[in-house]
Amino acid sequence: MFGTGFTAQGSGRNRPYRRTPESYGEDVSFVFAGLDGREEIGDQPALVNFWGAAGYEVDRSDPALGSPEGTVVLATATGFSDHYQHVVGEVLMSDSLQGGSVNPLVRADMVLVPYPRGGAVFSPGSIAWCSCLSHDGYENDVSRITANVLDRFLEDGGPA
């Protein structure tokens, strides 16, 4: 329903997101309005784990686990340390390959999920997202994206 699901958690340094090619589509361009084509998102101080908008608990998009058809992955945060571990519910056997430095499933996906009649869900895929909102007096890319999405969702006719 939300386009993402719990994939990992940890206490190591958070990570910034990198935009995907899909994030430049006309139908989702409103999300990044005012960011002048910036590639990296959330590479700034955070109130949780000190730095970065993706961290603490991270969620990923995965159609095999129920992400709806039409989910657009806008950005992804990777490069987590082994302080981040893949969620145990998806691990069939414990081994040393579950940390963020080796497991590609340890990532945060920022998604937009369109729904019928103008509905949509935006998920940054990370609990730490909100810990970056107040940086620089709320004048930052995380705050801008959040405001862009909320403004669009509040418009007549919704996000579509």
State pLDDT tens for residues 18-45. 999 999 999 999 999 999 888 999 999 8
pLDDT of 24: 95
**Per-residue DSSP letter, 130:** G
Q: What single DSSP character describes residue 99? A: B
Report if residue 159 sits inside a domain: no
Q: What is the pLDDT of residue 58?
A: 95
Q: Helix, strand, coil % (nearest 5) of the chain?
A: 30, 25, 45
Question: Is residue 140 included in any domain, yes or no?
Answer: yes
Report pLDDT for 155: 83
Is residue 131 in some structural domain? Answer: yes
Q: Please state the domain count of the chain.
A: 1
CA dist 39 and 24 (Å) reads 10
Regions of the chain short of the pLDDT cut 50: none
Task: Say what the pLDDT of residue 53 is.
Answer: 95
d(CA 44, CA 51) in angstroms, rounded, equals: 6
Q: What is the pLDDT of residue 95?
A: 79
Domain membership of residue 160 (yes or no) is: no
Which residue segment(s) compose the domain that 25 sits in?
Answer: 5-154
Which residues face 75 on adjacent strands?
19, 110
Residue 53 lies in a domain: yes
- Is 25 among the domain residues? yes
Question: Which token pair is 49?
Answer: 């784990």
Asked whether residue 49 is domain-assigned, the answer is yes
